[in-house]
Structure 1
Amino acid sequence: MSEDQININEDKNKEPPDLQLSTLRKVINKAVAVILLVVSLSFHLVAIGIIYKVLEPIISWYLTKSPIRGIDTFLSAVYVNYILKWHDFLRPEAWKYIWFGGYPFSLDYPSLYFLAMTPFVNRFGLISGVMHFAAFGLVVFAISSYFFYHELSKNRSLALVLTIATILSANLYRALVWAGGIPFWTTQAFYPLVGFLIIKALNSRNAKWFYLAAIAAGLGLMGHPQGFLNVIFPFCLLVLIFYSGRDHLRFRKRLGYILTFFGLSFLVGLPGVLLDFLPTFFQGFLQIFATFGTRFGKAQGIETTPTLTDTTGLEIIKFTRDQFNYVFSDTQQFVWFFLSTLAIVWCFTLIYRNHRIRGLLNILPFTLFFGYEISVVFLFSRNIDIYIGGWYKAFWSIPVATSALVAVFFGQTIDSFLQFEKIKFFKYSKWPFLLILNMAILVVGYLVFPPVTVKNLITRIDSLSNPSSPYPDILNIKISTTEREELKQQLVPKFLDPNDKNQRLYVIDATVNLWWTTMYEMPLARGYVDPPIPNTGRWGLFWLDSVMGPSGKGSEASLILDWETPENVVFENTKFLLDWNSIYYILGNYSGDVPTILAKHVTDPDYIEKTAEVTVKGAMDRYNPSGERFEPDKTQSLIYYKVRPELVSPILTPSNATPVLLIGDSSAYDTIYRYLGMKNLNSQKIIVSTRSKFIDDHTLKELKKFDAVIIYRYDYHRGSKAWKIIGDYLKDGGKVYIDTGPDVKEAASNNLPEYFPFRKSVRGDIGRDWNVEVGEGSITKEVDFNKFSPLIFDGGVWNVSHPEKNGDLNSSAEVLLRNNGKVVAASMNVGSGKLSWTGFNLPYHVIRDYNEQEANFLTNILDSLVDFSIKNTQSPNYQFISPERRVVQTDGARAVLFKEEAFPSWVAKTEKGQKLTVYKAGPTYPGYVYVPFSSDLKPSQVILSFNGALKWWIYHLISLLTLIFLLDRILTGGHLLVKPVGKVVSVIVRPTKTWWQKEDEE
């Protein structure tokens, strides 16, 4: 090969000079990009480090302050302790047995944060663990705020200073240090977190940030939805409607973002949305309209315009209105100064700014939201509640909303200057200017927030704080695991086994209800958080409290003094309710910070077998003029009462009590149980249970499980079928009591069933007074009919159902009672059975005036049908496998009674797997679990299982699948799941699509 050829080949291998230069530029650009990234990340890390140094003394104060802060701090401990005790994770079928007879966890407080607390509790102990989780929430809040402000301002220095200003604002901490509402406190971090992700998505036009925002919002909804309802979602909606960043955003795209974000958020958080978010939204919406119907001056139970002599009313109004001032005084003043300055500067930049409309729209959502937040707090100070719910929840978003507005003003102002970047002088002077600006911001931040600012903040939030509420106070001091184990032995008397899960303790004191289940396993008859039942279902709880607690008028029970119930009725009620609620122990009558006094009759020897007082050292002087003070040598006591054992029966037990079926509505159930309470016909004597108000929802075989059937305020789908079932039951020896006094079809009918005491009936007024003719027989003995209450309903007519004519009476009917010549009570033998009838709504007439003679008459009627004697059973042989699963040996009994609430998902089976029908019984809502056996079935064992409603499994499954698919889109671009599933769906849908096309062509 010649030298020339070699040179030619070498020249071919050489790259052109321009290509070499281009490659060099790429390398340099990549190196510069890496360096800038490292510098940027380094600054972020330094900023986060500075933020943590500011947070450190605040966190240290919170974790070490003694007594611990926050009224409800122990509430989180209750839930986390329960989860750790009984569940590896909180499943949709989880059951909470510890309060109010039990209820599904699915209907209770949102629970995701409690699951998140478990690692902290495992590491630090129960009380310290939930407090460390709260501290972690503050760190997440601060870091999220920093990135939120940075994304709006594109300036790290400003983001750092604004974050410090936010965390040094006392408004932020009320939910934590005053209320102890750690779930609500944790949700506060989702405002800057979701805000950052939404702004990042709009600035970058990258859908992955939207998916992350939806995940964060959905998980937050399952933690505590309220902050989303009145703060986070309104903010996100405004931003998605108006904000577009540097580039124009078309309406269709914007609408897609709105639907995507909210739709995916709701799907991820579906259990929380359906449980709490939507009900709270609609309830609050109605409340707002109701509130606007009153004057602004009306405040918390006082007249709209108090007189000058009504000093209490005027003071309440003044206090409420003065709260609004904390919007400004408890948010760092520097932020208000910076906001006003930047707003003025930004207005001047509009003069020469390009795309003014876009600039205005970028500012608008933050301005509107800022105004909305200020207005909401102002209206709340005028007693108009827009989803706030308490002063401690009113102010927290103000520092964030204000700082975000500062950040967006700054960012938009800088954008206005950057449009001159093409000018040569500006191009070279931009970086020195920005460097000087950043240095100036940092210097100002340092001067405005010296170290003493943190001390001042701690002093302020200390003054805002409240000690945790458990009584005795020593529980708020000794919070380590070792100390709590020692206290366990000191806080209960020897006669009480605090871990017996088949008996209940009644505690009138909420400050004991709050901590009890963090230490012991014995369930409480009451609780701390209200049960998830409708207001109409709380009659049993109200009844119990009004019997056990005193009136404000004296030491007697509220039912006596406030509701004018005869004393003897209240005494019988007490025994009845103690038994039905399995209350073996009572706690009260000690000197606490809240009322603990029991009605004076409750502690009589007729009810109480033993009394014991336990005393512990350590008490707080909460109201000392010089400040709160803990006195280690001062003692506090708890007084326990042991109920006489013959008065009560266990939670889970085989039962031989007379089984009676009630076919009637919820009012009938309430009425019958109030009557039973008058006569103390408790669960050891008779169990009245119900399943449906429709007669023909039951079968003859089902009715045969019961000694008698009460038909009262009933209905049916088909009359012929319904009355045939009852007739067959009577002929086979069944006993029936029916009252047609209410407005039922048989109250006035020309075609009554043949086994009724008469063929035709009418309903109307027969006179107010009683002019009686009494039939012969034991039913009417020992009843003074002259003492019956008048037949008056709220001053008007009391309609009575009766035979149209005396000649309509069946020849074999026995007349029990006539009034003013009209038959109003009768009985009749039918086959080997018996039917007793009344026509004047006797059960309700009994309890309306608590008429003892009427109660005796009804008792005689029922006593002629069934046995009211006590049927004792042996001590139950049962297993508490888990809250959702119990096993009991029947010992040949007729039924199993399980005094926990009969929510629909409770299932009863025999040891052979045969499913048994669950009925509702007891003076409570929805009623306790009752499982009677048919005569041909005598199981030796009954297994009770709570499986959870299918809908909650579906909600959780939808949430989980949405979360998985979103993570797939974020991490793999959908290649792992979304796209393969899409292909499968398209293959399935394609034949259907082809078929539809053929149909259209034809």
Structure 2
Amino acid sequence: MKFLFRIGSLLLHIVALVLVGISFWPVATWYFNHRPILGVDFYNTVTFVRFLKENLEILPRGYLYFWFAGSPIDTVQVLSWFYPMAFVAKFYPLIETVKFFALAGFGGLLFFLYLTAYRLSRNHLLSALITAMVAMSANMYGSLTWGGSLPYFLNQLYFPLMLWLMASYLASGNSRWYWAGVLVLGLAYLGHLANAGAFVFPAAAAPLFFGMRARRVKIGQRIGEVIVLFLGGYLLAYRVTQGFLSGLIVHFLEGKILNPYGLGATVGKIGISKEGISVSGDQTLITVERSHFAVLFSDTNKLLFWLIAVAVGALVLGFLLDRHKKRIFSILPWVILAGYSVVHVLANAYGFPILPQAWYRAFWHFPISLGVAIAASAGYLHSAFTSRSKFGGQIAFSIITLAAIGGLIMLQSGGVAQNTISLLEQKSSPASAHPEAINLVRNQAELDELKSKLIPTWLDITNKNYRLYTSDAQVNVWWNALFDLPLVRGYLDPPVGTGFQGNHFLLDQAIAGDGLVTNFKYSESAARQMALYYIDWYGVRYAEGGHLSKSPNKGPSSYLTDLLVQTEDVEIPGAYLLYETKSGKPEVREDVGQFLKYYKFTDQIVSPILSGSNAPVVVCMCDWAAYESLTKILSLHNLNSRFLVTLFADKNIDDFTRDELRQFDGLILSNYRYKQKNRVFTLLTDYVEAGGKLFIDTGGETPEGQSNNIPELLPFRSTERRGLGKEWDLTPTAADIFSGIDLTALAPPVFSEAEWKFSYPTSDVKSDAKILLRQKGKPILISTKFGQGIVLWSGMNLAYHVQYYTNQVESQLYINLLKQMLSLSERPPVLGSAQFKNARQVNFSPEGTTRGILFKEEFFDNWQVKIDGRRVKAYAAGPSFPGFIYVPSTQAGQVSFTYNGNSRDYMIWFMSSLMIIILLDLSFFHGVLIGVHISHLAQKSQKWMGKWWEKEEE
């Protein structure tokens, strides 16, 4: 009999899931076949999936080469969903794979929601009804059809999966369900941290803490389960959670207690005082924000609200009939989750940023949690009736089933699916690609056919040794979904802090449009020089921009037009007109064309990404602020990689060896640091005596800025650091250095209304030294010969003064000082054979003699460089952070660059893998494979510690 019952139940499950599938099918086919493709960020996913399909790496050594001169792919937070897509895309067309995955992920969400509803209600058809109603709630699809944030949309399935696991754990007490929940939380964190933190973790914590169980569990154990759950997920997903706790502490100290991810911002400022809570800010925006709360209800299937009303009545009736009144608390965690879904949106709408999500993805959890609460209420009603008699339970089951059948009939016959689609049509947004013909393709075959129509014939999209610049995000988002040619900019921000992005900003302003001139008041000549500097360093052979688009974009700056050897407008037929139609409704128009505008710079100003170099090399031993000041000075005079290669060394000077320093033509010390003073200055003295050139500026925060123990290398014994007035009183003594310099045009020696601090000698200056410049009689620039080399000393903090004021005259003075050290004549790059084997492996063979090799990819840890199989040391170079790769080498032979990832990433990868294996063992095998050994080891350790403690007591 039990066997037949199970067969019948299985058949009912199949019928129920088929009904769910029938309900979801209209929405699924509408999305899959929709023209244009829906979701703003759709092509961002396509870009990553295409990249991983061609460069799939299981180990943490993938390198994303095509945006912002490259970065480790592990720096992309939302990554894990791209891997299974990429694997499938190896066998199926790319566009179809991405769409299919989105729908399959939502199918998984519906499946686990059905299992959760059935676990709580024990009724197949009610579970099918609840799941179908969720499928027909427009709120579920915001991140798919508006935002196109497909990783977020896919990650939604972990919410009902966690609910099912926790419901099963409460019902059975079997720890396997709990450990599976820990595993799922970690995977959810990896999928999308903000999504999982806001919803998946509460989906586990609420049942664990408030859920009724078959046997009594003390509150301490409940708290322990929640803590272990959090820590297990945290460690498994450490790649993305590693900054969470520190961020939580920082946000706690800043008063952002409920916003640990640092996401979102409210338009109104909340104030709490004796008079109460007040809100200040733009009232129009505040009104718009508050209106979002209504969407929670307007875009959720209305039948769910009818059912919740029925559920409340059922709870009252069940409570009256139930012989075990305490059982009413079994629905508590599910009601709490439903309440949390409401409070979460309400709080964010009214200015309290509780784990905020973007509004287009803020509502999806509500239909699910509401449906689960309904299922729990139905399950409680059935249990209450059964407590009276078995027949009573059958009556309750029949009533619930009949109600579910009625609801399913209403769903199928009431045009609910079409109403949902109509609402989605209003709330959706096309993919953000420009031209819109890219959004109008129906499949990958049509996209492949379109590729050749998007570019001019002279643009070589296969040559990865140069880059294309475009400021249009609507082009950035799709470019590398189609072409291998890397971009200067990317659709996502570079994975470095904003404090290290100054060069990106200057590059944008210099190359595209005339912003440096019109907005920042640079002279046109300075702006042109800066543009040429960045074009060379970043290998910008091509540009695109200046076309009519929905997003702002600019063509090359007006002062660069004489350097363009090709310009072409490419028209691509096809547009999606939203309002400019006779019907007043959006229409696809095949006869309307849109444009891309391409440019090619002359090769005379562009150096390739990979080349040999014979330019002199200087190392700036400094902090980032000082180095950025240096590169800005060089950019103002276009001293690019053909003239000078600058290396950035933000480390102790002690870490260099004599042999290393001999490779470099000059050293620049500014805001430098060291461990052992005597050792460092012995090292520097040896370098200069052997013919090296040293430029040391002690005007910043340096040990020698104010000291009574100045080393012999410098031409004085003691210094003082303080202001010397707010006006210049300069006395120059070196005509060659100040040639063409109007000292009256210098920016004032003032910093934030205070006197600029100078470092100057308080002892006699050596007789063989040459004082170049005095301020109020105090030497602030000195030159001296030392052995075969030269020492230039400055107490001005000159580079930072140029950065602070962007003073062209001061920058020329700095260049004149460099010319005292180095020959800054142009030396064209040495070309060669560049083989981009894959995203992380590149070979280069120069076609002539070189002093070094420049590879203009970002030097993240751990690039390994070999020349003819022998490993050599590389350095960070150029106007970028962490810097491009420079390899000093005079040898002829093949240079190979391989990105291997750093040891820390491997440790994190190993820890995550181990956590997954352990949790799989605990979930499916009761810990027989690994868990039992860990437990045994823990017991032995505990015994050993106990014996050790006893010995200590003796």
Pairwise same-fold verdict (TM > 0.5): yes
Using a 3 Å threshold, how does the CA distance of structure 1 residues 283 and 477 change in structure 2: closer, same or farther?
Answer: farther
**Alpha-carbon distance in 1 for matches of 2:46, 2:701:** 50
Q: By how many angstroms is 1:774 displaced?
A: 2.1
Match of 2:364 in 1: 396
Match of 2:198 in 1: 230
Equivalent of 1:848 in 785, 799, 804: 804
CA contact (8 A) 2:69 2:858 kept: yes
Deviations 1:798-855 (A, max 9, x none): 12111225xx010100111122222111100000101011111111222333322222
CA contact (8 A) 1:751 1:759 kept: yes
Match of 1:515 in 2: 478
Match of 1:964 in 2: 917
**Alpha-carbon distance in 2 for matches of 1:919, 1:40:** 67
TM-score scaled to structure 1, two decimals?
Answer: 0.89
Match of 1:337 in 2: 306
**Alpha-carbon distance in 2 for matches of 1:472, 1:489:** 13
Using a 3 Å threshold, how does the CA distance of structure 1 residues 172 and 287 change in structure 2: closer, same or farther?
Answer: farther
Equivalent of 1:176 in 144, 162, 166: 144
Q: By how many angstroms is 1:147 displaced?
A: 0.9
TM-score scaled to structure 2, two decimals?
Answer: 0.94
CA contact (8 A) 1:658 1:685 kept: yes
Equivalent of 1:371 in 336, 339, 346: 339
SS of 1:904's equivalent in the other structure is coil
Using a 3 Å threshold, how does the CA distance of structure 1 residues 718 and 487 change in structure 2: closer, same or farther?
Answer: same
Match of 2:879 in 1: 923
Q: By how many angstroms is 1:591 displaced?
A: 1.0
Equivalent of 2:38 in 66, 69, 79: 69
Deviations 1:663-713 (A, max 9, x none): 111111111011111111101110110223422222222111100100111
Match of 1:774 in 2: 732
Give the residue type in structure 1 aligned to 2:30.
Answer: W
CA contact (8 A) 1:762 1:801 kept: yes
Match of 1:412 in 2: 380
Using a 3 Å threshold, how does the CA distance of structure 1 residues 690 and 470 change in structure 2: closer, same or farther?
Answer: same
Match of 1:27 in 2: none
Q: By how many angstroms is 1:278 displaced?
A: 7.5
SS of 1:769's equivalent in the other structure is coil
Residue 791 (str. 1) matches residue 759 (str. 2): no
Equivalent of 1:60 in 14, 29, 44: 29
**Alpha-carbon distance in 1 for matches of 2:165, 2:939:** 35
Residue correspondence of structure 1 range 698-847 to structure 2 within 5 A: 698-804=656-762, 808-847=764-803
Residue correspondence of structure 1 range 848-867 to structure 2 within 5 A: 848-867=804-823
**Alpha-carbon distance in 2 for matches of 1:401, 1:772:** 74
**Alpha-carbon distance in 2 for matches of 1:867, 1:302:** 60
SS of 2:876's equivalent in the other structure is strand
Match of 1:29 in 2: none
**Alpha-carbon distance in 1 for matches of 2:438, 2:657:** 55
CA contact (8 A) 2:385 2:393 kept: no
Match of 1:211 in 2: 179
SS of 1:729's equivalent in the other structure is helix
SS of 1:940's equivalent in the other structure is coil
Equivalent of 1:490 in 453, 456, 459: 453
Match of 2:275 in 1: none
Using a 3 Å threshold, how does the CA distance of structure 1 residues 82 and 345 change in structure 2: closer, same or farther?
Answer: same
Q: By how many angstroms is 1:543 displaced?
A: 1.5
Q: By how many angstroms is 1:282 displaced?
A: 6.4
Q: By how many angstroms is 1:272 displaced?
A: 3.5
**Alpha-carbon distance in 2 for matches of 1:639, 1:73:** 23
CA contact (8 A) 1:829 1:835 kept: yes
**Alpha-carbon distance in 2 for matches of 1:823, 1:198:** 75
**Alpha-carbon distance in 1 for matches of 2:540, 2:265:** 46
**Alpha-carbon distance in 2 for matches of 1:120, 1:695:** 50
Question: Which aligned runs of 4 or more in structure 1 are off by greater than 6 angstroms?
Answer: 275-278, 300-304
Using a 3 Å threshold, how does the CA distance of structure 1 residues 996 and 68 change in structure 2: closer, same or farther?
Answer: same
Match of 1:307 in 2: none
Q: By how many angstroms is 1:124 displaced?
A: 4.0
SS of 1:350's equivalent in the other structure is helix
Deviations 1:281-306 (A, max 9, x none): 966995845999xxx997279999xx
CA contact (8 A) 2:181 2:204 kept: no
Q: By how many angstroms is 1:114 displaced?
A: 0.9
SS of 2:593's equivalent in the other structure is strand
Q: By how many angstroms is 1:153 displaced?
A: 1.7
Using a 3 Å threshold, how does the CA distance of structure 1 residues 235 and 287 change in structure 2: closer, same or farther?
Answer: farther
SS of 2:452's equivalent in the other structure is helix
Using a 3 Å threshold, how does the CA distance of structure 1 residues 140 and 880 change in structure 2: closer, same or farther?
Answer: same
CA contact (8 A) 2:623 2:650 kept: yes
SS of 1:577's equivalent in the other structure is helix
Residue 869 (str. 1) matches residue 825 (str. 2): yes
**Alpha-carbon distance in 2 for matches of 1:900, 1:394:** 38
Match of 1:547 in 2: 510
Match of 1:996 in 2: 948
Match of 1:262 in 2: 230
Give the residue type in structure 2 aligned to 1:52.
Answer: G
Give the residue type in structure 2 aligned to 1:471.
Answer: H
SS of 1:611's equivalent in the other structure is strand
Q: By how many angstroms is 1:438 displaced?
A: 1.4
**Alpha-carbon distance in 2 for matches of 1:141, 1:98:** 34
Deviations 1:898-932 (A, max 9, x none): 11111121122222423x22221121211111222
Residue correspondence of structure 1 range 180-329 to structure 2 within 5 A: 180-274=148-242, 288=256, 299=267, 313-329=282-298
**Alpha-carbon distance in 1 for matches of 2:271, 2:537:** 42
SS of 1:925's equivalent in the other structure is coil
Match of 1:618 in 2: 574
Match of 1:25 in 2: none
Residue correspondence of structure 1 range 3-42 to structure 2 within 5 A: 32-42=1-11
CA contact (8 A) 1:898 1:928 kept: yes
Structure of greater Rg: 1
Match of 1:79 in 2: 48
Using a 3 Å threshold, how does the CA distance of structure 1 residues 976 and 697 change in structure 2: closer, same or farther?
Answer: closer
**Alpha-carbon distance in 2 for matches of 1:394, 1:138:** 16
Q: By how many angstroms is 1:42 displaced?
A: 0.8
SS of 2:35's equivalent in the other structure is coil
Give the residue type in structure 2 aligned to 1:341.
Answer: V
Deviations 1:368-411 (A, max 9, x none): 22222212211222243322231111111010111111122222
Q: By how many angstroms is 1:782 displaced?
A: 2.5
Equivalent of 2:405 in 430, 437, 442: 442
**Alpha-carbon distance in 1 for matches of 2:250, 2:796:** 41
CA contact (8 A) 1:218 1:268 kept: yes
Using a 3 Å threshold, how does the CA distance of structure 1 residues 236 and 472 change in structure 2: closer, same or farther?
Answer: same
Q: Which sections of structure 2, spanning at least 5 residues, go unmatched?
A: 273-280
Deviations 1:252-308 (A, max 9, x none): 54345334433433343333333779858966995845999xxx997279999xxxx
**Alpha-carbon distance in 2 for matches of 1:161, 1:290:** 35
Match of 1:424 in 2: none
Using a 3 Å threshold, how does the CA distance of structure 1 residues 882 and 323 change in structure 2: closer, same or farther?
Answer: same
**Alpha-carbon distance in 1 for matches of 2:484, 2:173:** 53
Residue 951 (str. 1) matches residue 904 (str. 2): yes
**Alpha-carbon distance in 1 for matches of 2:677, 2:289:** 60
Using a 3 Å threshold, how does the CA distance of structure 1 residues 443 and 827 change in structure 2: closer, same or farther?
Answer: same
Match of 1:13 in 2: none
Q: By how many angstroms is 1:238 displaced?
A: 1.3
Match of 1:359 in 2: 328
**Alpha-carbon distance in 2 for matches of 1:330, 1:356:** 36
**Alpha-carbon distance in 2 for matches of 1:500, 1:402:** 54
Using a 3 Å threshold, how does the CA distance of structure 1 residues 665 and 687 change in structure 2: closer, same or farther?
Answer: same
Q: Which sections of structure 1, spanning at least 5 residues, go unmatched?
A: 1-31, 305-311, 422-426, 551-556
Give the residue type in structure 2 aligned to 1:321.
Answer: R
Q: By how many angstroms is 1:885 displaced?
A: 1.5
Using a 3 Å threshold, how does the CA distance of structure 1 residues 283 and 612 change in structure 2: closer, same or farther?
Answer: farther
SS of 1:773's equivalent in the other structure is strand
SS of 1:843's equivalent in the other structure is helix
Match of 1:350 in 2: 319
CA contact (8 A) 2:681 2:711 kept: yes
Q: By how many angstroms is 1:90 displaced?
A: 3.9
Match of 1:15 in 2: none
Deviations 1:42-87 (A, max 9, x none): 1111100111111111111001011111111111111110011122
Using a 3 Å threshold, how does the CA distance of structure 1 residues 757 and 118 change in structure 2: closer, same or farther?
Answer: same
Instruction: Give the aligned CA root-mean-square deviation in angstroms.
Output: 2.7
